[in-house]
C-alpha cells in the first residue's frame, strides 16, 4: 500500500499568515493527489484535486503544488474559517490512503 506521510501534525498560525502543509508519498503517484478540509463536526470538503487544481467554490488563497513525490497545500492568507483539520489523499492506486491529518489552529 502507498503511504502518505503528512506534516506537521499540528500547526498554530496567525490571521493573514502563510501556511504550508506537506504530504510525502512513499512512491510515485503522479498527480493523483487531493486535499481536504474538515471543519469541527463536519464532513470533509474537497479543496484541491490533481495536485494543483482548485475545486469549485474554494477561495483562491488555497493552492497546491508538487515536487516529485512531495505535495504541498498552501494557504496564502489565513482566515478564521480556515481552521480545521487538513488531509491529503492519494488516489493513484487502491487502497486509496489519506495522510494522518494536520490540525490547524489560530495563534
Partner 1 sequence: QVQLKESGPGLVQPSQTLSLTCTVSGFSLTSYNVHWVRQPPGKGLEWMGRMRYNGDISYNSALKSRLFISRDTSKNQLFLKLNSLQTDDTGTYYCSRDLGVNWFAYWGQGTLVTVSS
Of 14 and 40, the one with the shorter C-beta distance to partner 1 is 40
User: What does DSSP say about strands 102-106 and 10-13: parallel, antiparallel, or unpaired?
Assistant: parallel
Nine cell digits for residue 41: 463536526
Q: What is the DSSP letter of 81?
A: G
Q: Does 58 bind partner 1 (CB under 8 A)?
A: no
Q: Does 34 bind partner 1 (CB under 8 A)?
A: yes
Nine cell digits for residue 93: 492506486
Residues whose CB is less than 8 angstroms from the CB of residue 20 and which lie 6 or more positions away in sequence, other chains included: 72, 73, 74, 75
Q: Does 95 bind partner 1 (CB under 8 A)?
A: yes
Instruction: List phi, psi (to 5°) of 60.
Output: -70, -5
Q: Looking at 11, 13, 46, 54, which residue binds partner 1 (CB under 8 A)?
A: 46
Q: Looking at 36, 64, 71, 73, which residue binds partner 1 (CB under 8 A)?
A: 36
By the criterion CB under 8 A, which residues form the site for partner 1? 1, 32, 34, 36, 38, 43-46, 49-50, 55, 87, 89, 91, 94-101
Amino acid at each position: 500500500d502507498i503511504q502518505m506521510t503528512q506534516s506537521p501534525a499540528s500547526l498554530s498560525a496567525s490571521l493573514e499568515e502563510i501556511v504550508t502543509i506537506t504530504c510525502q508519498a512513499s512512491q510515485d503517484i503522479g498527480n493523483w493527489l487531493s486535499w481536504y478540509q474538515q471543519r469541527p463536526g463536519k464532513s470533509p470538503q474537497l479543496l484541491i484535486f490533481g495536485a494543483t487544481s482548485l475545486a469549485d467554490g474554494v477561495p483562491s488563497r488555497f493552492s497546491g503544488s508538487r515536487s516529485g513525490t512531495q505535495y504541498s497545500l498552501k494557504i496564502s492568507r489565513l482566515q478564521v474559517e480556515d481552521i480545521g483539520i487538513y488531509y491529503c489523499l492519494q488516489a493513484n492506486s487502491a487502497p486509496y490512503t489519506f495522510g494522518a491529518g494536520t490540525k490547524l489552529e489560530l495563534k
